[in-house]
Amino acid sequence: MSAPEDVAAFERLGGFTSWKAGVKWITDEYARSFTATPFLLDLGAPVPTAQGRAALADVCKYAIAAYPHRYGVKSDGLAADYNLTSYGAREVASLTDTTTVGFQMSVPSKGKLNPQGELLLADALNRGISLGAHFIEVYAVDCNDSGAASVLTAAATQLLAR
């Protein structure tokens, strides 16, 4: 939500206060209803501003404290050039020892290569693993690419070792 009219509507409906209350309520309902099932929050801020990121950080802190080892986070947008200083990267890295954390690829790699002639998929997977991911969601087209099999197997081995 970044269009000015969307942000204005968000603010008319209670803005960050309502958003945080709603996310916390949903989190509590998941925890109450699925007592043995872990659940994840996607690390996307409700509004692409510092205030939006602060609201997201607030609900993450709440849920991690309230539901340790059951609540985890996932950052979408993993790529070979994924920003290592982004909120998602920092949050995954900081929580890897205490809860389930991971990534989803931003787009399929489809056999694309980096300047060294290696698969961009390998670069992206290595970036996610280096940040402490326990899982990485990869597009089916990349999973079905026989040329990526060794890259995927190596990444799976590293992820399973966590």
Give residues with Cβ within 8 angstroms of 37, minimum separation 6: 30, 70
Rounded Cα distance, 25 and 80, in Å = 35
pLDDT 10s digits, 98-147: 889 999 999 999 989 888 988 899 999 999 999 999 999 999 999 999 99
Confidence grade of residue 157 (pLDDT, cut at 50, 70, 90): very high
Please tell me the number of Cα atoms within 13 Å of 84 on its side-chain side.
Answer: 11
| Alpha-carbon distances of 121 from 73, 82, 106, rounded to whole Å | 22, 12, 11
Most distant CA atoms of the chain, gap in Å: 51
pLDDT 10s digits, 28-86: 999 999 998 888 999 988 888 899 999 999 999 999 999 988 899 999 999 999 999 99
Rounded Cα distance, 80 and 119, in Å = 9
- Ranges of each domain in the chain: 4-160
- Nearest CA to 78 out of 53, 103, 113 is that of 103
Rounded Cα distance, 32 and 15, in Å = 26
Task: Supply the pLDDT for residue 130.
Answer: 97
